[in-house]
Amino acid sequence: MLRSLNKIMNFKLQGLDKEVGSCKDFIFDDKFWVIRYLEVDTSKWLPFGGKVLISPISLSEPNWDKFKFAVNLTREDIKGCPPLDEHQPISHLYEVELFKYYGYGVYWMDVGEWVCFTSPAEIADASLYRSETKNKFENWHLHTTNEIKGYDVHSSGQNIGNIDDFILDDDNWSISYVVIDMGSWLPVGRKVLISHKCIETVNWADRSISVNVSAHKIKANPLFDLKRLIDLQSDINLDEYYEISQEPEYLHETRIRKVRL
């Protein structure tokens, strides 16, 4: 099902024994646009604790009604994980150490969102991939959703709004859509959805993205309505509106051109 990240931010994480913290951010890769980690605040119970990373691999079925993610870990498991330097980017070396600690198969094989699997939970038992550490691409970077929320959105040479939210597919933890708040462009503010596959350029330096869809096309898109996310057919229709191919070959070949200064 499709869900708003804004709506599930601050969900509590229930471990196998006790509650382990609350979700403060989501970390995604800018190649497949998949959530790789939940950034969790453990300061209420972990001595000198701050934030830790918990992969969707560690999650079981969430309790959406009680605003909780179920985690297949104990507090002791989390307490012993490699320490995270909050002031440094997440390095590939740290990811290798983290996955070795939990004994998971790795995701960075460059053959799909979660290697050859359809969901992150399946990698927990994928021993075949546990020794693979060399396939991390140099241009594959991790970013937080809070980091790019508010970025300007450029289309047809003009600023049409700002990133307001992200729409998650909770089956595979991919970001299906970006929500654009067009209030800075239109007289009456409105929000619309656009697929991440329409993002042509991400400029991390000036906090903006450019999309390959005309401003007129985006303006004519129906207003964003959370109720539409319940209907999978509306998801398909939106892709058809933006003329996005549903072929697997297209999805695997899509790349984002990143601009860095």
List Cα–Cα distances, 10 to 39, 117, 131, 235, in angstroms.
10, 28, 34, 26
Q: What is d(CA 166, CA 178) in angstroms, rounded to the nearest whole number?
A: 5
Q: What is d(CA 221, CA 125) in angstroms, rounded to the nearest whole number?
A: 42
Q: Which helix (H) or strand (E) holds 13?
A: strand 12-14
The tokens of 250 are what?
A: 């297209």
Q: What are phi and psi of 13, to 5 degrees?
A: -115, 115
Top-confidence residue, 122 or 131: 122
Q: Is the pLDDT of residue 183 over 60?
A: yes
**CA nearest 148: which of 86, 87, 201?**
201
Query: Please, are residues 71 and 54 in contact by the beta-carbon 8 Å criterion?
Result: yes
Can you give the pLDDT at residue 144?
94
**CA nearest 4: which of 149, 218, 199?**
149
Q: Is the pLDDT of residue 114 over 50?
A: yes
3-state SS assignment for residue 233: helix
**Residue type at position 120:** P
Q: What is d(CA 88, CA 63) in angstroms, rounded to the nearest whole number?
A: 32
Name the E strands within 121-230.
142-144, 152-155, 158-169, 174-181, 191-195, 199-203, 208-211
Can you give the pLDDT at residue 231?
59
Question: 149-259: which CATH architecture?
Answer: Roll (2.30)
Q: What is the percentage of the chain residues whose pLDDT exceeds 70?
A: 80
Domain residues of the chain, as ranges? 2-143, 149-259
Alpha-carbon torsion, ordered 18, 146, 195, 252, to 10 deg = -70
Cβ neighbours, 10 Å, residue 89: 9
Can you give the pLDDT at residue 249?
43
Can you give the pLDDT at residue 122?
83
Domain 2-143 superfamily per CATH? Photosynthetic Reaction Center, subunit H, domain 2 (3.90.50.10)
Q: What is the percentage of the chain residues whose pLDDT exceeds 90?
A: 46
Task: Give the model confidence (pLDDT) of 25-48 as tens digits.
Answer: 999 998 889 999 999 999 999 877
Instruction: Specify the range with the lowest mean pLDDT, choosing from 147-151, 182-186, 212-216.
Output: 182-186
Cβ neighbours, 10 Å, residue 153: 26
Average the pLDDT over 58-71 and give the result. Answer: 95
Task: Give the model confidence (pLDDT) of 197-249 as tens digits.
Answer: 899 989 988 999 999 999 888 888 877 777 766 555 566 677 777 776 444 44
